[in-house]
Structure 1
Amino acid sequence: MGWQSRTRTLQVFDTELSADTVEWCPIPQWAHVLACGTYQLQKGDDNTEENSTAPSRIGRLYLFDCHPQSFISPLTETQRIDTPAILDLKWCHVPVSECPVLGMATASGEIQLYRLMDAQQGSSALECELSAELGPDRLALSLDWSTGRGESSNVRVVSSDSCGDLTLLALGGAGGDDCKLKGWDLRMGSSSPIFTSKRHTMGVCSIHSNPHKEHILATGSYDEKVLLWDERNMKQPLSETAVGGGVWRLKWHPNHEHLLLAACMHNDFHILHSQKAMEQQDASCSVLASYILHNSLAYGADWSRLPLSSSSLPTPQTSTASRESEGYLQIQYESPSGSFDTSLEDESGHYIPEQCSSVQEPSSSLTGDTQGLSCLMASCSFYDHMMHVWRWDWSPENKQAAIQPEPS
């Protein structure tokens, strides 16, 4: 049976500053909450060598509520906070003192933790709970929580910085751009790693452990490849997939163990299927879908845990779009290499999918559900300071045809 894969844009938001990270809250009660972080380099006014001012890095943290079943704009901004430039955001996977907590890595060399508090009129707001300095003259580059598999005890945060150090923070090393992937066993101390791999040929940008399959992790690099590993045997990766563009961020699907989302800087966003790659060494991942409507560096991407139904398809909206007299909804993209318009509706107001392609049935891990799969996504790009909310539908061809808009 053939399957169809398609993406559709729901909303585009101008973040004003360069956008580099987006994160949906993983806790079910707050799954509608989306955070976006920005990073902007400001240079001094005087470019002479003697009187030049050191560049400053500023940022802004956005908070949104998302209601994808709404037939107006699904995304509503609820808060914005000016901060130092943000390089990474991660929600703790479990509540801390009954509240969601968002971790932020900043260009000021701090890890900041924000608590999500209930505000008036049913919305929520972030309050800065605490911050920890990693050291002088360094940038906090990334962070992650120890709660990826739902563990709620002994909550810890690990962070990397621009001096090549790893910092482990507990609530209530070495590393860097040396093309190496290293691992530590904290029970054995931090004096030396338990493994070092030089399988990537350029700097390693992203690493994410599979939350469903113990010992499986994915890494991405400037060398434009995604590698899958079994941490019990780090001499050779399970698979190697060339995705192009440099792999800045990787995210496993929160429910389906073989789906992997990749933000590939110069080569857009891709959804990979990894079952064959896990089962057959040296087999590459297959690409199920690509989202190509960003016009700058693809940096931030995340899966939402909000449920979607194929029968409810909201009308796409955008804060930068203009509706023409004929009824089209268009987004104009401009870049040094040219510009193009994307029409999201036909003359009757029916949705036109940006991409619809047929793919072969990759495995039995998802196709046992003949209803298919619908996912809500968020992604952001850097120099055009845009955040997109979009959905991906993957379904049998006969089912996909049934939900196409009726001709007028």
Structure 2
Amino acid sequence: MAAWKSRTRSLQVFDTELSADTVEWCPVSSDHNILVCGTYQLQKGVKVDSTPSRTGRLYLFQFCREGPMTPPLTELQHMDTAAILDLKWCHVPVSERPLLGLAAATGDLQLYTLKDTQEGGRRLHTLSSAAVGADRLVLSLDWSTGRLDGSDIRAVCSDSAGCISVVSLEEGAVTIQSQWKAHDFEAWISAFSYWDTQVIYTGGDDCKLKGWDLRMGPSCPTFTSKQHAMGVCSIHSSPHREHLLATGSYDEHVLLWDGRNMRQPLSDSALGGGVWRLKWHPTQEHLLLAACMHNDFHILHCQQALEGSSESCPIVASYILHNSLAYGADWSRLCLDDPAPCSPLPSAHEPKLPLPESGVHLRIQYESPTASFDTSLEDDMGRYIPDNIEPPIPNPTVTPEHPCPDTDSMSCLIASCSFYDHMLHVWRWDWTPNTDQC
């Protein structure tokens, strides 16, 4: 079995000004170079008893590699919005245009369509919205189109009241088909089974992972799992393998499941940080991207775990150049044709920024993008002071001889964002055979 080199390299860093918590590349083939980033900012009131307000900003970018000295990311547009908790592109075009869903702190599901401008650029335009509920935050959303099926386009979203809403889309209008109380506390996450879109998975702050079959109605879940020890905040159905599901939790574990048997997970991987987002690679079925809040961003290789030869998934790459809570992450479908660089790249385990000298005042932050009691420590400069957690050690030598079919190497483009330092990073991951020559 051949050993492989796993390298990450930062391509560009963008200051979003407000706290960044969600980022998404466009999955529609004509617009794979389009990226959006959402922000969430708590504006605390002047008076002690005043209600804080939450504001946000939606950024639209275009990625283009013109030369080694040219920043690849260009801002096309930004607009002030309600605080944004989640962003998801519909996987197929609607009315021949890309469609973006936005989960807002005002309790609304907002839809935007991407259009050409007269100047030849691209711009988001408001299409429609639906009020999920008053006095609640929409925390997540997912489209039913994960396997590029546009025959029945629906969205599911979860909210801070513990409710789940399923909405349909017809001629640009959003209609709530069903809504029910699913969790005792915040319902952090909701997701379709991409193979049977009548099946929905949800996770909440009550530490429960649940399944629902829309054909049976929402009166009773098809299963309830308590395998996670803390709140379940990430779920992603595999678009490549039927019945495969990945879940993440504040308990710092990623579990892989076979949807036909939810009594026991297929694998259990400890990542040393609350797992806020999980994303399967759009074309490589064994690669899973994890945003781990207090412990950076990691790429897991899941092949051996799915084959039953490993109890956990090895980490093949880590990106640690953020200096705050790791929240948003997504794979791009763009192909990076240029070869991996021969110059030395940053180590996957370089230390973060130096900690402040003793005596510097520490600020405790309790406000997460979802208004939860998620504690982080920062100095007065806003730099995250990590817990004493040893990061997992990537082990590329356990990966298959050919990670990408019919190729000898692979390169991936990834975007990630972090909260209190309000930073968006675009970076690449190169996986090449470990030879003496680059």
TM-score, shorter chain, exceeding 0.5? yes
Paired with 2:309 and 2:133, the residues of 1 have a C-alpha distance of 41
| Alignment check: 8 A CA contact 2:21 2:38 kept | yes
Structure 2 residue matching 1:120: 3-state secondary structure: coil
Q: Is 1:53 the counterpart of 2:50 in the alignment? A: yes
* Distance in 2 (alpha carbons) for counterparts of 1:365 and 1:239: 22
- Give every structure 1 segment of 4 or more consecutive aligned residues whose post-TM-superposition deviation is greater than 6 Å: 331-335
1:366-389 C-alpha deviation (Å, 9 max, x unpaired): 255442110000000000000000
**2: CA distance between counterparts of 1:141 and 1:333?**
33
Shift of the alpha carbon at 1:310? Answer: 3.9
Matched, 1:151 2:149: yes
Instruction: Please point out which of 400, 405, 421 is paired with 1:363.
Output: 400
Map Cα deviations across residues 192-237 of structure 1 (whole Å, 9 max, x no partner).
1101100001000000000000100100000000000000000000
Residue in 1 aligned with 2:325?
297
Change (3 A) 1:334 1:128: farther
The CA deviation at 1:154 is 1.1
Q: Structure 1's 110 and 334: CA in aligned 2 closer, same or farther, altered over 3 A?
A: farther
Q: Give the Cα–Cα distance (whole angstroms) in 1 for the partners of residues 126 and 208 of structure 2.
A: 34
Q: For 1:54-133, list aligned pairs within 5 A.
A: 54-68=51-65, 70-71=67-68, 72-133=70-131
Structure 1 Cα separation of the partners of residues 332 and 427 of structure 2: 10
Alpha-carbon distance between aligned partners in 2 of 1:6 and 1:169, rounded to the nearest angstrom: 41
Output the aligned Cα RMSD. 2.3
Aligned mate of 1:232, from 256, 260, 280 = 260
How far does residue 119 in structure 1 lie from its aligned partner after superposition? 1.2
User: Any stretches of 5+ residues in structure 1 without a counterpart?
Assistant: 316-330, 340-355, 404-408
The separation in 2 between residues aligned to 1:117 and 1:388, in whole angstroms, is 25
CA 1:367–1:105 in 2, change beyond 3 Å: closer, same or farther? closer
Contact 2:334 2:413 in 1 (8 A): yes
Flag the 1:181–1:16 CA change in 2: closer, same or farther, 3 A.
same
Kindly state the Cα deviation for residue 337 of structure 1 after the two structures are TM-superposed: 6.0
Q: Which residue of 1 is the match for residue 232 of structure 2?
A: 204
Matched with 1:24 is 25
Work out the CA distance in 1 between the residues paired with 2:151 and 2:407: 38
Percent of aligned pairs sharing the same letter: 62
1:166 to 157, 164, 167: 164
Aligned counterpart, 1:135: 133
Q: Which amino acid aligns with 1:275?
A: Q
Greater CA drift, 171-180 or 58-67: 171-180
Shift of 1:2: 1.5
Residues 44, 54 of structure 1: 8 Å contact kept: yes
Partners of 2:155 and 2:40 in 1: CA distance: 22
Residues 314/46 of structure 1: CA separation in 2 closer, same or farther (3 Å cut): farther
Answer with 121-130 or 245-254: which moved more. 121-130
Paired amino acid for 1:78: L
Select between 81-90 and 303-312 the one with higher mean Cα deviation.
Answer: 303-312
Q: Are 1:11 and 1:390, in contact at CA under 8 Å, matched by a contact in 2? A: yes
Contact 1:254 1:305 in 2 (8 A): yes
Residue 59 of structure 1 aligns with an amino acid whose one-letter code is G
Task: Please say if 1:178 is aligned against 2:178.
Answer: no
Q: TM-score by structure 1 length?
A: 0.86
Question: Could you tell me how far apart the structure 2 residues matched to 1:84 and 1:389 are?
Answer: 25
- Show CA shifts across 1:80-134 (max 9, x none): 0100000000000000010000000010000000000011332110001001011
2:113 aligned partner, one-letter code: R
- Distance (Å, rounded) in 2 between the aligned partners of 1:235 and 1:289: 30
